[in-house]
Amino acid sequence: ETSFDVYAIRQQFPVLNREVKGKPLVYFDNAATTQKPQVVIDALVNYYTGYNANIHRGIHTLAEEATAAFEATRDAIKEFVNAESREQIIFTKGTTEGINLVAQTWGRQNIQAGDEIIISNMEHHSNIVPWYILCQEKGAVLKVIPISDEGELDMEAFEKLLSPKTKLVSVVHVSNALGTINPVKTIIEKAHQVGALALVDGAQSTVHLDIDVQALGCDFFVFSSHKLYGPTGMGALYGKKDILEAMPVYQGGGEMIKEVYFDNIIYNDLPYKYEAGTPNIADAIAFKSALDFTKGIGKENIRQHENELLAYATAQLEAIPGLRIIGQAKQKISVISFVIDNVHPQDIGILLDNRGIAVRTGNHCAQPLMDRLCIRGTTRASFAMYNTKEEVDVLIAGLQKAIKLLA
């Protein structure tokens, strides 16, 4: 028996008390963004009411307090992903910025005409577009790991794509649209065997899985705070130290420099080298509260609860005639995408919203994945630590009513 008490956890998330269209909110759009516990909201309010100041530059008390809290988040992230050192944690505004940072710095310096970058057929647009832009600029080639109908990477095909031309393999750890957990450790090893670097998009994995960047061996790992019960506009890039040190600077401005002359500039050390300008101080500080909160409940406890919800919901959804679950990977997290014969996902979404149920519909920022599966989009329910079986029952009842109306 664990001490996991979902009803006590729900008390910590104020928004879960609200109603939508006169019904209690059932929030199943967690893969898009999670709700925030009171401690995260308090951290934001406490910063602005108690010690709002710009960081690093000030010697007064408020600046010192703000700097200490801001930098404490870097330590918390270092621990959370088991990085070797705090200097290897670069603050970003999220996964998207992390990938763009690597593409615009490491990519611009190292990718040449004829080089190849490998991604997969299940990437979020944010792990496609930055590489497409880079390949266009450099005359490099984007290669795509195919997937099976079940939504798993074709690892044999991946190995055939690898060659001395491969310079980078950039893959999603967990698919936001299908829930598939990809074998990233193997992918990273294979990439390294041909001398390529490996980037892992951890936007969806960090909230569900234990992350150990050293055990994975990845060169870059990127993720977003808002998918982890933290604020939006905040995230982190982890990189291997020698690689981060060798990369050219990203944005120019204050903080990322040591000395500035009109004819010479000396750039700052890691991690500040990649952190130009006043950062997102409040949200960075509150992110630590989210990490502490998650740690306090225990990722293993959360995972067990979410997997129970996944199994419970999957069994009930499979029993609905005409409903097909998209993404049948053997290893998946608590995300369920589905389509229903003769029913448009958007119509389902609207009818569910009328009953207070929040799901996501559409292509989930993964248009090439939808094309591969020959569908326009799906309805997606994604579960977090605070969801309950009763809420799944509400979803199933709502779906049955919706199908009766629409099909």
Distance in Å from the first CA to the final CA of the chain: 43
Of 172 and 385, the one with the shorter C-beta distance to ligand PMP is 172
Residue 73 interacts with ligand PMP (CB under 6 A): yes or no: no
Using the rule CB under 6 A, give the single segment among 16-24, 120-128, 190-198, 208-216 that binds ligand PMP. Answer: 120-128
Under 8 Å between Cβ of 35 and 27: yes
Residue 69 interacts with ligand PMP (CB under 6 A): yes or no: no
Residue 152 interacts with ligand PMP (CB under 6 A): yes or no: no
Instruction: Identify residues 222-241 at the interface with ligand PMP (CB under 6 A).
Output: 224
Cβ 90 to ligand PMP, closest distance in Å?
Answer: 14
Under 8 Å between Cβ of 249 and 217: no
Using the rule CB under 6 A, give the single segment among 39-47, 75-83, 103-111, 122-130 that binds ligand PMP. Answer: 122-130
Identified catalytic residue from 135, 218, 365, 374 = 365
Residue 95 interacts with ligand PMP (CB under 6 A): yes or no: yes
Question: Please, what sign has the CA dihedral across residues 230, 296, 177, 161?
Answer: positive
Cα 119 from Cα 276, distance rounded (Å): 29
Residue 243's nearest CA partner among 223, 264, 213 is 213
Cβ 321 to ligand PMP, closest distance in Å?
Answer: 30
> What one-character DSSP code corresponds to residue 86?
G
Residue 206 interacts with ligand PMP (CB under 6 A): yes or no: no
Under 8 Å between Cβ of 93 and 275: no
Cβ 109 to ligand PMP, closest distance in Å?
Answer: 23
Of 298 and 362, the one with the shorter C-beta distance to ligand PMP is 362
Residue 182 interacts with ligand PMP (CB under 6 A): yes or no: no
Of 35 and 316, the one with the shorter C-beta distance to ligand PMP is 35
Residues of 135-155 as b/e, b for ≥16 C-beta within 10 angstroms? beebebeebbbebeeebbbee
State yes or no: is 365 an active-site residue.
yes
Instruction: Identify residues 355-384 at the interface with ligand PMP (CB under 6 A).
Output: 365
Residues of 251-275 as b/e, b for ≥16 C-beta within 10 angstroms? eeeebbbeeeeeeeeeebebbbbbb
Candidate list 34, 170, 204, 289; residue touching ligand PMP; CB under 6 A: 204
Residue 203 interacts with ligand PMP (CB under 6 A): yes or no: yes
Candidate list 36, 74, 78, 124; residue touching ligand PMP; CB under 6 A: 124
Candidate list 176, 180, 280, 289; residue touching ligand PMP; CB under 6 A: 176
Under 8 Å between Cβ of 146 and 157: yes
Residue 29 interacts with ligand PMP (CB under 6 A): yes or no: no
Helices (H), 153-257: 155-161, 184-193, 213-216, 241-246
Using the rule CB under 6 A, give the single segment among 123-131, 179-187, 345-353, 388-396 that binds ligand PMP. Answer: 123-131
Candidate list 29, 201, 219, 306; residue touching ligand PMP; CB under 6 A: 201
Chain-centre distance for alpha carbon 274? 20
CA angle 145, 150, 155 (to 5 degrees): 30
Q: Please state, in angstroms and as integers, the Cα–Cα distance from residue 72 to each residue in 66, 209, 360, following that order.
A: 10, 23, 34
Residue with tokens 């690892």: 155
Instruction: Identify residues 283-312 at the interface with ligand PMP (CB under 6 A).
Output: none
Residue 172 interacts with ligand PMP (CB under 6 A): yes or no: yes
Cβ 151 to ligand PMP, closest distance in Å?
Answer: 13
Of 67 and 127, the one with the shorter C-beta distance to ligand PMP is 127
Cα 208 from Cα 304, distance rounded (Å): 10
Cβ 259 to ligand PMP, closest distance in Å?
Answer: 33
Q: Which residues bind ligand PMP (CB under 6 A)?
A: 94-96, 124, 126-127, 172, 176, 201, 203-204, 224, 365
Residues designated catalytic: 365
